[in-house]
Amino acid sequence: MLTSHTMFKKIGLIAKPDDIHVKEALVQVIRFLKKRGLDIAIDQQCARQLNKKEIEGLKLLDSENRDLLISIGGDGTLLHAAHKLPNFDVRLLGINLGKLGFLTDISPADIDGELDRILNGEFIEEQRAILSCSVVRDGRVLTTHNALNDAVIQKWDTARLITFDTYVNDIFVNRQRSDGVIVSTPTGSTAYALSCGGPILHPGLNAIALVPICPHTLSNRPIVVDGSSKITVEVSTPEAEHARLTCDGDVKFALAQDDQITIERSERFIRLIHPKDHDYYATLRAKLQWG
């Protein structure tokens, strides 16, 4: 066993379920970390993909703090990992086996070399903004959720458009009829918001994008506001449960008429790390096929 001088001693692993390519990468990561003599904990999805010999000596990931959390899969797996962080001081790293990989930028072929450099402190760290989203009904907060990518108010179980009013810092912006609205962080600007015609925001910007989904009024365009703004969306659609709040793609709450959804930047942030040669614009060129 090699003596480890890494700055990370306790490593947590989270994997996309039921994917043979993920299992191969997972076994490779575990083998590498074991050689470094590190404390390794895995989530249930990892455990289901490993045999008895492969799982030997590993802990089950729980609420115990880790120094580094590694997600193995796509951007969705990393988002899942972000929501599993026991606290927001844990750094997060992604190994990409997904379709896009805007957040997960280590390829399976580079695992050993990149992990070796990262564990020795050669990496770039970014602070990625988180949105805090609350549903208020009759003056009472019913539920609150975090979103690293986006909070989406959208129609549900209906072919009809939904109606809602949007406010920024309690100042009325507009009333619209559409399939919904995406309230996106810069991180989420290359996700669902991009497919709806939203702008690409550099992750270092302190900004929030409001992107309409299939608006009935064609002059309704995306708006970018200051990241310290409070966004309020008030649902006017009279049919109960024909609108939903989703955060990072997960359905969180069924909305009723007159519900207010307040969305603000959280005081906390995600500590996302990349290889030292990470280039954001090179990632855009590759993923969006800009040439």
pLDDT at 2: 39
Sign of CA dihedral 24, 30, 33, 37: negative
Topology of the domain covering 10-122+276-287: Rossmann fold (3.40.50)
- Residue 61: closest CA among 82, 79, 73, 46: 46
pLDDT in tens, the chain (291 residues): 334 456 899 999 999 988 888 999 999 999 999 999 999 999 998 999 999 888 988 999 987 789 999 999 999 999 999 988 867 789 999 999 877 788 988 999 999 999 999 999 999 999 999 999 999 999 999 999 999 999 999 999 888 999 999 999 999 999 999 999 999 999 999 999 999 999 999 999 999 999 999 999 989 999 999 999 999 999 998 877 799 999 999 988 999 999 999 999 999 999 999 999 999 999 999 889 897
Tokens of 25: 């990468």
Is 277 tagged catalytic? no
Out of 75, 150, 248, 259, pick the active-site residue: 75
pLDDT at 98: 74
Q: If one looks up domain 130-268 in CATH, what number appears? A: 2.60.200.30
| DSSP letter (8 states) at residue 197 | T
CB 261 within 8 A of CB 210: no
pLDDT at 5: 54
pLDDT at 159: 87
pLDDT at 6: 67
| DSSP letter (8 states) at residue 51 | -
The β-bridge relationship of strands 140-147 and 150-155 is unpaired
CB 152 within 8 A of CB 180: yes
Query: In the chain, at which residue ranges do the beta strands (DSSP E only) sit?
Result: 10-15, 39-42, 59-60, 68-73, 91-96, 123-137, 140-147, 150-155, 162-168, 171-178, 180-184, 207-213, 223-226, 231-235, 243-247, 250-255, 260-275
Domains 10-122+276-287 and 130-268 share a fold: no
CB 103 within 8 A of CB 185: no
pLDDT at 10: 94
- Report angle CA 76, 77, 79 to the nearest 5 degrees: 65
What residue ranges do the domains of the chain occupy? 10-122+276-287, 130-268
Strand partners, 128: 270
pLDDT at 157: 87
